[in-house]
Amino acid sequence: MIAFIKKITLRFLPILISLPLFSQELQYTTPIYLSIEDTWNKAINYSKKIDLSRMEAAISEEEIAEKKIERLPEMDLKGNYEYATNIPVYENGLFSKPTQHEVIHILYKVSAGYYFNIYNGNKLNLAIKSKEIGAELANEQRDLSISEIKLQAAAYYLDLQRSYIFKKLVIDDISNQEEQLSEIVSLSKNGVVLESDVLRVKLKLSNQKMMLVKIDNDIAITNQKLNIVIGLPDHQLIQPDSLKDPALISLTDYEEWLKIAEHNSYDYNISSSKTELSRIALKSVKANVRPKIGLYGEFYLANPQIFLYPYSPSNYTLGVFGVRASFPLSELYLNKPKERVAKLNLEREELEHHHVEDKIREDVFAAFTRYNEALVRINVAKDDVEQSEENARIISENYFHQSALITDLLDANIQLLQSQFNLASAKIAAQIQYYQLQHVTGTL
C-alpha cells in the first residue's frame, strides 16, 4: 500500500509543481511604484464621495453669502394700467333702468418702493449664524470622508504590501528547500536517507508552490480593490513602497491623544455643530414673539389724480416715507409648543453630544491600546524568528548527521516560515492600528 501511494505521488508531483499561477495569466501593465502618500492623493482626487462632500461645503459657503444679502433693503418696481367702465346707479331699485355716470376710464400707476429691516427679533443674524455653522458641519463631513477614504486605501495598500512580503518569503523558502532537496537526493542515492524523505520534501515544495499561487491571487484581488479606490484600471499592477518600521513612530501617551481627539475628532466636531444648530433654532423660535421694525418708502407716478378732492384726469407724483412696526400677538400662544419642541431637540442633541464624547474616549483608548499591543507583538515575533532560525539550523545539522528525522526538519522549516509571516503581519497590523488611531483622533 505504501509503495502504491509513493507511485501515485511521484506520478502527479510534476503536475502539482508545474501548476500555472492564475495572476500571471492576467495581462498587467508595467508596475507603478506608489508610496502611501501617493496612494492617498490618488484616492482623494478620485473619490466621488469626497467630491460630493466638497460640493456640499461649497453650497454651504454660497448659502452664507445668500443670507447676508438679505441685510440689504427690499426694493420693488410696480406698474399697472387699467380701464374703468361707467358706474350704473340704480336710483329706482335694482330692477329699474340705471343712470350711467361717466368716470375717468383710463387709469395707470408706476411706483417704486423699499423696505429696510431694522429689527426682526435678531432672526436674520441667527439665520446667518446657522448657515455658518452648517458650513463648518459640511467641512467636517468633507474631512471625515477624506479620512475614511485614506483609511480604506491604507488598508488595501498595506494588505497588498503584506502579500508581497509573504511572496518574497515563500520564494526564498522554496529556494532554500530546493537546496535541501538536492542534498537529500544525494544522500538518498548513497543510501544514507530513505527515499520517503525525498518524497516528503518534494511534497512540501509542491505545497509551497501552491501557497505561492494563493499569494499571487491575493495580490491580484487586493490590487484590483486598491485600483478601484484610487481610480486606476484593473490591469494596472501596483508595487507598494518598502514597509515602514512602526517602532520609528513617536507615540505620545493616551492623555495627549485624548486631548488631540477633543479638538480634532470629526465625530466630536460634527456633534458639536449639530448641538449649536439646535441652540440657534431655539433662539430663532423665541424670536417669533419679538417686534418687527423697519423703514419703508414708496414713490409713484399716477393718473388720474384721486388723492385730493376734486379729482382730475392729470398726472401726479407722490412720495411716502416712514417707520413700520408690528408685534405678532398670536405668536404669544402659537409659539409655546414650537418652543417646547425646540428645547427638546436641543436637549436631545446635548445628550447625543455627551454620548459622542464617551464614544470617542472609548475609541481612542481602544486604538491606543491595540497599537501598543501590536508593538509588543512585533517584539515577540522578532524573538520567535530568531529562535525559529536557530532551531531550523540545529535541526538541519542534526538531520544531515543522522540524529533527527525528516519530519523534524520539515516542521522546523515550516515553523521558521510561519514566524516570518507572523513578524510581517505584526508590522502591518501595527501600521493599520496607527492609522486607525489617527482616524479616530481626526489627524489622519
Domain boundaries, the chain: 24-73+123-292+336-441
Backbone phi and psi for residue 315, each to the nearest 5 degrees, phi listed first: -75, 145
Between strands 99-101 and 32-34, the pairing is unpaired
- For residues 109 and 113, what is the distance between their CA atoms, to the nearest angstrom? 13
Between strands 74-83 and 106-120, the pairing is antiparallel
Q: What are the b/e assignments for 161-175, b being 16+ CB within 10 Å?
A: bbbbbbbebbeebbe
Name the architecture of domain 24-73+123-292+336-441. Answer: Up-down Bundle (1.20)
**Per-position pLDDT tens, the chain of length 444:** 334 333 433 333 343 333 344 444 556 778 889 889 999 999 988 888 888 888 888 888 888 888 888 888 888 999 999 888 888 888 888 888 888 888 888 888 899 998 898 888 888 889 899 888 988 898 898 899 999 999 999 999 999 999 999 999 999 888 888 877 777 777 767 766 667 777 877 888 888 888 888 999 999 999 999 999 988 888 888 888 887 777 667 677 888 898 889 888 999 999 999 999 999 999 999 888 888 999 989 998 888 887 777 777 888 888 889 999 888 888 888 888 888 999 999 999 999 999 999 999 999 999 999 998 988 999 999 999 999 888 888 887 787 777 778 777 778 888 888 899 999 999 999 999 999 999 999 888
